[in-house]
Amino acid sequence: MKKKAFITGINGQDGSYLSEYLLSLDYEVFGIVRRNSIAEHQESRIDHLVGNGVITEYGDLLDVSSLEKMIRTIKPDEIYNIAAQSHVRISMDIPQFTVQTNTIGLLNILEAYKNNHPKARFYQASSSEMFGRTVDSDGYQRESTKMSPTSPYGCSKVFGYNMVKHYRNAYKLFAVNGILFNHESPRRGSNFVTNKVVKSAVRIKKGLEKKLVLGNLDAYRDWGHSKDYVRAMHMILNHIEPDDFVCATGVTNSVRDMCNYVFSKLELNYKDFVFQDEKYLRAEELKYLRGDSSKLRSTFGWKPEYTFEMLMDEMIDHWLGIYSLQ
């Protein structure tokens, strides 16, 4: 009998890649999709999967009844909670919505899971933003690093991380956290800095834009590819015992490094087109994130297949392909 997986946030970047990966492992995949006013774009990342192994239903993390109904009906072997308001800068503009979605939404699905199908395994998408400015003496952040978030998003993720541990310990559930550092792809939203940089660079090359305005060019991040990270999610959830793991490449680059690489690949000098504006700065800047995934690597043999340069090249090729058709 095929295993069943239930994914919240299935129509996002990670949800779409995770669906593809689980289908390759012969899973049945179910997902919850939030109905909104732009219905034609709702499932664009998974249109090719719906009806080909993926089944979706309308629902919402803030609607307990829809969660309970799906979990009771599907009886999934695995639950992946990937849905969130995940844009850090935007979380400072809409802190109430961010916190409500990422905390009450999580509580709702934990309760639906505990009360309706506690035999399942539960994965929570935690984030490197939980660490904030705290860095260990060797320049890395790992499972034992003190959490000191610097945004409403990071704060909401600390709550979620601790709640999952609480439910695991109090109710003996197989509930785990994957502490994922930044991971990107061509499917990333264009309001995230990686896709914003690549898309704008291609548009500038094509004569469709004249400049790119960003915030802190000297923010350093540990960027990987979503495809590598969804493999890690599955490994973590299928461990012999529930535990929490950091997933990261261990390599850090700045936004300036990214701009230099992407514009150079397009035979442009980023200094001629990229400008800084204080309005794009965070209220509390987070300058450095670099993850140590030694525990994940030693436990499962996981390692990233994509380098930073391969990730950027794939994203450049994607947007060049889009604009060559126009």
b/e burial code for range 39-49 (CB count within 10 A of at least 16 → b): eeebbebbeeb
Do residues 141 and 292 lie in contact, with contact meaning Cβ atoms separated by under 8 Å?
yes
pLDDT at 286 (0 to 100): 78
Report residue 269's pLDDT band, with 50, 70 and 90 as the boundaries.
very high
Interval 304-323: pLDDT, tens: 999 999 999 999 999 999 99
pLDDT at 40 (0 to 100): 39
| Sign of the torsion formed by the C-alpha atoms of 126, 12, 69 and 75 | negative
Residue 303 clears pLDDT 80, i.e. is over it: yes
Triad 158, 229, 173: Cα angle to 5°: 50
d(CA 117, CA 104): 19
pLDDT at 189 (0 to 100): 86
Considering the entire predicted model, what is its pTM?
0.93
Interval 73-111: pLDDT, tens: 999 999 999 987 767 767 767 788 888 888 999 999 999
Known catalytic residues?
127, 129, 153
Average pLDDT over residues 3-20: 95
- Strand intervals (E) in the chain: 4-8, 28-33, 54-58, 78-81, 121-127, 174-180, 183-184, 212-214, 220-221, 224-225, 245-247, 253-254, 274-276
Residue 37 clears pLDDT 60, i.e. is over it: no
Structural domains of the chain ordered from first start:
4-183+222-247 (3.40.50.720), 191-221+252-288+307-324 (3.90.25.10)
Mean pLDDT of the chain: 92
